[in-house]
């Protein structure tokens, strides 16, 4: 193990440094441009963003769509900045691969941090808001046949994280992003043969079909179709108030996913055509 693993004080100092790397002025320049691009290309629509608590920490949990090019974060981040301004800290817990090479500093300036429980706690304890995708790569690489299914792969750690920091969980549901191309298979067997779990911390090697490369195996990534993406923010869940001082974490997860699935079903019922919306 590294020194960081053994030294809690060093780990805390590094987390504070990561938090401080978020640059509100940079966000103020980048996010509005990104938001306009999302509205132009994906006709993005975010409903109920004012349901996010106006102050204090909050844990946003969302389904994750789009394969190798998910658009959930830029769409929601742009709506968040429109509502609360760039100076209110919003962080995104993301896979380690986003921090490799030259992309790392840019991601950190925008408020991205590696997806660990310690980082989540540091963000929430600072009074900031963070976005978490419990389903992670299992969710984002799901086949198109399950595009309108909430699937966190049995992960319930987000509930414990919210309880530990005493913050509400804000469920968010998005539809349309998984129509950017035809997602065929997560590719678990291929990933296992290539030992991607140890090399890249992923169990998946996604197979998809789209434009302009047709059938691809992870790379090169196809360009996303201009599918209409609708995102809805649900009412915050105060876990202790709703489920008691010592709640059953699994039961909380079941209820949150039930509410998210009900909303996703409603959004799917509104949707007339794939991609067009």
Residues 129 and 211 in one domain: no
Residues 108 and 187 in one domain: no
- pTM (two decimals): 0.91
Residues 198 and 65 in one domain: no
Question: What are the distances in angstroms from CA 181 to CA 34, 66, 90, 216, 265?
Answer: 21, 8, 29, 11, 21
pLDDT digits (tens, 9 = 90+) for 219-265: 888 999 999 999 999 999 999 999 999 999 999 999 999 999 999 99
Q: Is pLDDT above 60 for 163?
A: yes
Range of the domain at 205: 181-223
Ordered strands of the 214-217 beta sheet: 182-185, 207-210, 214-217
What is the model's pLDDT at position 184?
97
Cα dihedral 61, 65, 71, 75 in deg (nearest 10): -40
Percent of the chain with pLDDT over 70: 94
What is the model's pLDDT at position 98?
80
Residues 14 and 136 in one domain: yes
Question: What are the distances in angstroms from CA 233 to CA 164, 174, 257?
Answer: 23, 9, 13
What is the model's pLDDT at position 102?
78
Residues 219 and 238 in one domain: no
Residue 259's CATH number: 3.40.1130
pLDDT digits (tens, 9 = 90+) for 98-109: 887 878 888 889
Residue 275 is assigned to a structural domain of this protein: no
Residues 58 and 135 in one domain: yes
- The pLDDT-based confidence of 170 (bands split at 50, 70, 90) is very high
Residues 185 and 170 in one domain: no
What is the model's pLDDT at position 10?
47
Of 140, 58, 129, whose CA–CA distance to 95 is shortest?
Answer: 140
Phi and psi, residue 132, nearest 5°: -130, 140
Number of domains in the chain: 2
Residues 256 and 240 in one domain: yes
């Amino acid at each position: 193990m590294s020194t960081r693993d053994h030294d809690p004080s060093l780990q805390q100092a590094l987390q504070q440094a990561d938090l401080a790397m978020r640059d509100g002025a940079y966000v103020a320049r980048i996010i509005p441009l990104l938001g306009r691009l999302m509205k132009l290309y994906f006709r993005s629509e975010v409903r109920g963003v004012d349901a996010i608590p106006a102050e204090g920490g909050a844990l946003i949990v969302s389904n994750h769509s789009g394969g190798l090019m998910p658009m959930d974060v830029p769409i929601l981040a742009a709506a968040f900045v429109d509502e609360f301004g760039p100076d209110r800290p919003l962080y995104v817990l993301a896979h380690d691969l986003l921090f490799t090479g030259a992309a790392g500093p840019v991601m950190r300036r925008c408020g991205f941090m590696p997806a660990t429980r310690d980082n989540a706690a540091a963000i929430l304890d600072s009074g900031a808001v963070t976005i978490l995708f419990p389903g992670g790569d299992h969710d984002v690489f799901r086949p198109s046949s399950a595009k309108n299914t909430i699937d966190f792969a049995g992960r319930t750690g987000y509930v414990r994280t919210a309880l530990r920091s005493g913050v509400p969980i804000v469920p968010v549901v998005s539809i349309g992003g998984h129509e950017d191309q035809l997602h065929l298979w997560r590719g678990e067997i291929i990933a296992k043969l290539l030992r991607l779990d140890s090399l890249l911390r992923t169990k998946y090697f996604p197979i998809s079909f789209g434009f302009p490369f047709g059938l691809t195996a992870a790379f090169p990534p196809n360009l996303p179709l201009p599918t209409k993406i609708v995102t809805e923010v649900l009412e915050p869940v105060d876990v202790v108030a709703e489920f008691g001082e010592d709640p059953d974490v699994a039961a909380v997860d079941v209820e949150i996913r039930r509410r998210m699935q009900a909303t996703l079903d409603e959004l799917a019922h509104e949707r007339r055509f794939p991609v067009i919306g």
